[in-house]
Amino acid sequence: MLQTISKPTELVLPDTERLSLAQTLDCGQSFRWTFQNDGTWIGVVGKRVLWVKEEKGKLLAGCLSRAETDGEMEPFLREYFDLDTDYQKIQRLCGSNPVLKEAAAFAGGIHILRQEPWEALCTFILSQNNNIKRITGLVERLCENFGEPILTIDGRKYFSFPTAEVLASQTEEGLAPVRCGFRAKYVLDAAKKVSSGKIDLDALREIPTQEAMDILMGIKGVGPKVAQCALLFGMHKLDCLPRDVWIGRAMDRLFPEGFPQEVLPIAGVAQQYLFHYVRCYPEILEDEK
DNA sequence: ATCCAGGTTGTCC
DNA sequence: GGACAACATGGA
């Protein structure tokens, strides 16, 4: 077992809780977690390198990078894994439509993580016109080159996500090792606007989704899809419905009139169920007849 | 080799 | 307003 500096934290989940780490950490919302062959996940959240694991009705976790005082980890985990949101209720809302009901039954272990706003914005800028495997590589190289080294396990180094300030001090040529192509200038524009305070990401949490989107779309390379991903995954705005190629196809085919009214406030979660569902069963979107 | 990927931009009408 | 190529990179 990995050496956790402090005693591992055990969180007992209610029996109604369907949290699945595999679904949550591998559904394309975060690109910073890797599955280990001992059944744990390792990822970097802020300054912490964490391991997490699920065990019948429990979430087990530990911090590998620093000592945690008693009682520090639990609220942190509850927050990051969004354990205080009522996902049972969300799945009930999805039940009003047969397709969403099916998607929710299949992917109901997904929680929307509460990631750092800057990290979410930056990674989804990198995500555009790109596939998940390569996005993961870009994020990794971004962190290796511009993040802070936190610790090394089994020869693998873990880095924090670079701050907007550090990236704002770079140039397009400086970002070359990331190999993110035309997205480099977009990352720089975002980093400059965020680090200068021209855009205050925390303030966006408090204002209506559409206004927040308009502000984010003032960044070069941020259109509606990236803005909605930043808001959904970085600011927990569950009404955001980012439309990528997968969701676009699924919506056209399965919801030509859009989602049902009652789902709209949690459309982002429904969208994520659907995303995971159609990625696992792409034949759903094939032409019948 | 051509197509595509959790899109956006610039340009043309 | 909508349509459409171009944009870097790498895997299928």
Q: What would the pLDDT profile of A160-209 be if each residue is shown by its tens digit? A: 999 999 999 999 999 999 999 999 999 999 999 999 999 999 999 999 99
CA distance readout (Å), A153 to A4, A47, A283: 12, 15, 40
Answer left, alpha or beta for residue A71, where phi above 0 means left and psi between -120 and 50 means alpha.
left
Determine, yes or no, domain membership for A3.
no
My answer on whether A142 and A37 are in the same domain is no
CA–CA dist A120, A273 (Å, integer): 19
CB A37 within 8 A of CB A156: no
When divided into structural domains, chain A yields a total of: 3
Whether residue A139 sits in one domain with residue A218: yes
> For residue A2, what pLDDT band results from cuts at 50, 70 and 90?
low
Is residue A28 included in any domain, yes or no? yes
Alpha helices in A26-109 (DSSP H): 73-80, 87-94, 98-107
pLDDT tens profile A63-84: 999 998 878 999 999 999 999 9
Check whether residue A170 has its CB closer than 7 Å to nucleic acid strand B.
no
CA A72 to each of CA A68, A75, A77, A105, A205: distance values in angstroms, whole numbers, following the listed order:
6, 6, 9, 33, 25
What nucleotide is nearest A110 when CA is compared to C1'? B6
Q: What is the pLDDT of residue A285?
A: 85
Model pLDDT, residue A5:
74
Nucleotides of B under 7 A from a protein CB: 4-10
Q: Which nucleotide is nearest to A183 (CA to C1')?
A: C8
Does residue A262 form part of some domain?
A: yes
Averaged pLDDT of chain A? 95
Residues A266 and A221 in one domain: no
**Does residue A157 have an active-site annotation?**
no
Which residue stretches of A108-182 are H helix? Answer: 117-126, 132-146, 164-168
The CATH code of the domain that includes A211 is: 1.10.340.30
A172 and A257 in a common domain: no
pLDDT of residue A46: 97
Q: A58 is written with which tokens?
A: 């429990």
Domain identity same for A229 and A249: no
If asked whether residues A264 and A205 sit together in one domain, one would say: no
State what percent of residues in chain A have pLDDT above 90: 91
Domain range holding A252? Answer: 245-285
Catalytic residue among A53, A192, A193, A225: A225
Q: How confident is the model at residue A131 (pLDDT cuts 50, 70, 90)?
A: very high
**What pLDDT digit, counting tens, does each position of A53-65 carry?**
999 999 999 999 9
Model confidence at A289: pLDDT above 70: no
pTM for the model: 0.97
The mean per-residue pLDDT over the stretch A269-273 comes to 98
